A = this chain, B = another copy of it.
Amino acid sequence: MKTLQLTFLMFIQLCLVASYAQSDKTIVEDFKPSSLNQPGQEYPQVNSQGYARFRIYAPEAKSVKVTLGGREGTILTKSDDGFWTGTTSEPLDEGFHYYHLIVDGGVFNDPGTLNFYGSIRWESGIEVPAKDQDFYALKDVPHGRVVQVLFPSKSTNSIRRAFVYLPPDYEKDINKRYPVLYLQHGWGEDETAWTNQGRAHLIMDNLIAEGKAKPFIIVMTYGMTNEIKFGELRKFDIKPFQTVLVDELIPYIDNNFRTIPDQKNRAMAGLSMGSMETKMITLANTDKFSYIGLFSGASLSMDDVNKIPGFKDKVKLVFVSYGSKEIDWMVQRGREFTGGDPRENVEALKKAGINSVLYISPNTAHEFLSWRRSLREFAPMLFKD
B106 and A56 within 8 A (CB): yes
A40 and B147 within 8 A (CB): no
Interface string of A88-118 (1 = CB under 8 A from B): 0000000000000101111111010011000
Tell me the smallest distance from the CB of A205 to a CB of chain B, in Å: 8
A134: Cβ under 8 A from any B Cβ: no
B40 and A103 within 8 A (CB): no
Residues of B within 8 Å of A362, CB to CB, are none
A25: Cβ under 8 A from any B Cβ: no
Residues of B within 8 Å of A159, CB to CB, are 138, 140, 143
Contact of A104 among B60, B111, B152 (CB under 8 A): B60
A82: Cβ under 8 A from any B Cβ: yes
Chain B residue with the shortest CB-CB distance to A255? B171
A256: Cβ under 8 A from any B Cβ: yes
State A122–B82 Cα separation when bound (angstroms): 22
Which of A106, A115, A152 has the most B CB atoms < 10 Å from its CB?
A106
B106 and A38 within 8 A (CB): no
State A63–B147 Cα separation when bound (angstroms): 43
Interface size on A, residues (CB 8 A): 42
Contact of A60 among B56, B63, B152, B256 (CB under 8 A): B63
Residues of B within 8 Å of A111, CB to CB, are 106-109, 121
Tell me the smallest distance from the CB of A227 to a CB of chain B, in Å: 9
Tell me the smallest distance from the CB of A273 to a CB of chain B, in Å: 16
Tell me the smallest distance from the CB of A69 to a CB of chain B, in Å: 20
A105 and B145 within 8 A (CB): no
Contact of A138 among B38, B39, B150 (CB under 8 A): B150
Known: A148-B146, A159-B140, A171-B257. A114 touches B122 (CB 8 A): yes
Interface string of A135-153 (1 = CB under 8 A from B): 0001010010111111010
Q: 4 tightest A-B contacts by CB? A: A58-B106, A60-B104, A61-B104, A59-B105
Can you list 7 residue pairs at the A/B interface with Cβ under 8 Å?
Answer: A57-B106, A57-B107, A58-B105, A58-B108, A103-B104, A109-B109, A111-B121
